[in-house]
């Protein structure tokens, strides 16, 4: 714990990964863990291990701000379900990490706490929205962290920071206490420096929670450390993914990774997932529509920021002013987009069409896994390239949204997915990490991690 706190003291002022650090209570809990273990006792598999928590996951310790002015100063009266499980396993929450406001972003630049910087190149972004968690792990401030993933917010920053990020199957980790962005897409998951560390964190936080209506009523898969034989595996690469990166900075590292995996005896086949080309469009209809509904609760009345009123001004003015002052530009943009696609006259044309595309995408992915001989996993780049310079895409929302091209697939279909380090790509003379993404069928998380261990064991391509 002291080593982590020293590293945070050394690097956080420049990188801005943590918004809050709980040094004294963390050291006290670490001392308790020392005493337990000295007496031959243990609280669980993470006893005494420091873990960082993304600041949209509720904790009794400190504040839960979601990086937003509207929740500035908000103290949660309860721990999220995933945090309760961490505590029972002996983990110690060392602090809260920065994020794009309400987890809406791909760069960790849109936060009231200021931008987080990439630990490998502070002039570049760490990815988003779980950029603070990824930076904290990538800079060796903590061995592991929790993030949330609605459209790639664990995997994309993991790729940019050269670490491993894992989004479990939708429903395996309780969303109770995760401040909602898009309820049918959000999922809590771990970031760490290895597949085994991600598996250990995930195995602790998984499990049914009757406080979450979307929690899966089934036993979580056993994430027990097995490693697949690559020579027995077939990997499907979507044709649309190949065409999307042709001629881009992502093409060379991805092809190099495929060659590396093929050299270990794996079979690489092309699969046709035509809806992949429309996945970002569908996502940016479904997610803002759900955000429009979820964020309606932040109205300046029940909790959060309340604007001042002048003489004669009423409730409608209070709502509008509180939300205008409290929400940043990107959050307002997504709320307005979501409200628009749900409005009369546009609901069928946009929202229902996006839901149909989502269903077709899931069907084609399921067919790719189920066909004979079928695919054991689907493989894509994690991102269209490496970490970009801070500020480069802030003025171009569509370019920022395109960063989610490969990651939104897993959220729309509810599949487990992981980003593994896969070497580097050349970005304007800078060598930055590039990740590969693996997906398996829903609830086949044990298969996903077993395959991931095998690829990790190959070493860098």
Decide if 259 is catalytic.
Answer: no
Candidate list 76, 153, 292, 452, residue with the active-site label: 153
B/e letters for 251-268, b = 16+ CB within 10 Å, e = fewer, are bebbebbbebbeeeebbe
Residue with tokens 């800079």: 139
Residues near 269 by beta carbon (within 8 Å), at least 6 away in sequence: 234, 235, 236, 237, 375
Phi first, then psi: give them for residue 336, nearest 5 degrees: -65, -40
Distance CA 139, CA 119 (A): 5
> Which of 134, 214, 217 lies closest to 387, judged by CA?
134
Distance CA 59, CA 71 (A): 14
Candidate list 54, 130, 322, 452, residue with the active-site label: 54
Which two tokens mark 433? 């990490």
Which two tokens mark 346? 């546009």
Candidate list 61, 106, 107, 129, residue with the active-site label: 129
Distance CA 457, CA 162 (A): 16
Cα dihedral 71, 77, 81, 85 in deg (nearest 10) = 120
Asked if residues 200 and 174 have their Cβ atoms less than 8 Å apart, the reply is: no
End-to-end, the C-alpha distance of the chain in Å comes to 34
In the sheet with 50-54, reading across from the earlier edge strand, the strands are 18-21, 92-97, 50-54, 144-148, 188-192, 164-167, 417-427, 430-439, 377-381, 234-238, 267-271
Q: Coil, strand, or helix at residue 353?
A: helix
Distance CA 47, CA 223 (A): 19
Beta bridge partners of 93: 51
Q: How far is CA 167 from CA 130, 170, 224, in A?
A: 12, 8, 17
Decide if 293 is catalytic.
Answer: no
Distance CA 272, CA 234 (A): 15
Decide if 54 is catalytic.
Answer: yes
DSSP state letter for 54: E
Annotated catalytic sites, by residue? 54, 129, 153
């Amino acid at each position: 714990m002291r080593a982590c706190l020293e590293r945070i003291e050394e690097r956080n002022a420049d990188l801005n990964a943590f918004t809050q650090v709980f040094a004294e209570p963390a050291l006290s809990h670490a001392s308790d863990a020392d005493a337990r273990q000295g007496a031959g006792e243990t609280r669980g598999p993470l006893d005494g291990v420091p873990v960082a928590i993304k600041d949209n996951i509720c904790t009794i310790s400190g504040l839960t701000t979601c990086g937003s002015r509207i929740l500035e100063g908000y103290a949660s009266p309860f721990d999220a379900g995933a945090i309760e499980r961490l505590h029972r396993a002996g983990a110690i929450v060392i602090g809260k990490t920065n994020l794009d406001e309400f987890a809406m972003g791909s760069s960790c630049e849109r936060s009231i706490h200021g931008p987080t910087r990439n630990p490998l190149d502070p002039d570049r972004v760490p990815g988003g929205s779980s950029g603070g968690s990824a930076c904290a792990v990538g800079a060796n401030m903590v061995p592991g962290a929790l993030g949330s993933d609605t459209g790639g917010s664990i995997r994309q920053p993991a790729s940019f920071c050269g670490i491993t990020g894992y989004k479990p199957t939708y429903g395996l980790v309780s969303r109770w206490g995760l401040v909602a962005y898009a309820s049918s897409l959000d999922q809590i998951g771990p970031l760490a420096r290895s597949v085994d560390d991600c598996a250990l964190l995930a195995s602790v936080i998984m499990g049914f929670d009757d406080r979450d209506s979307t929690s899966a009523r089934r036993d979580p898969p056993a994430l027990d450390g097995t490693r697949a034989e690559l020579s027995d595996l077939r990997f499907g690469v979507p044709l649309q993914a190949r065409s999307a990166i042709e001629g881009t900075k992502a093409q060379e590292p991805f092809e190099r990774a495929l060659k590396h995996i093929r050299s270990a005896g794996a079979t690489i086949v092309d699969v046709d997932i035509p809806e992949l080309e429309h996945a970002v469009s569908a996502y940016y209809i479904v997610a803002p529509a759900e955000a429009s509904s979820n964020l309606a609760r932040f109205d300046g009345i029940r909790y959060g920021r309340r604007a001042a009123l002048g003489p004669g001004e009423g409730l409608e003015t209070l709502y509008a002013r509180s939300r205008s002052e409290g929400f940043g530009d990107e959050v307002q943009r997504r709320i307005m987009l979501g409200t628009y696609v749900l409005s009369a006259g546009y609901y069928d044309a946009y929202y229902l069409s996006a839901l149909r595309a989502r269903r077709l995408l899931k069907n084609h992915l399921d067919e790719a896994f189920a066909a004979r001989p079928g695919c054991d996993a689907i493989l894509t780049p994690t991102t269209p390239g490496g970490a970009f310079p801070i500020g480069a895409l802030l003025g171009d929302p569509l370019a920022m949204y395109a960063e989610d091209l490969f990651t939104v697939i897993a959220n729309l279909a509810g599949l487990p997915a992981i980003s593994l380090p896969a070497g580097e790509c050349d970005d304007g003379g800078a060598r930055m990490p590039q990740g590969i993404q693996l997906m398996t069928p829903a609830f086949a998380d044990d298969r996903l991690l077993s395959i991931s261990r095998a690829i990790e064991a190959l070493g860098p391509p």
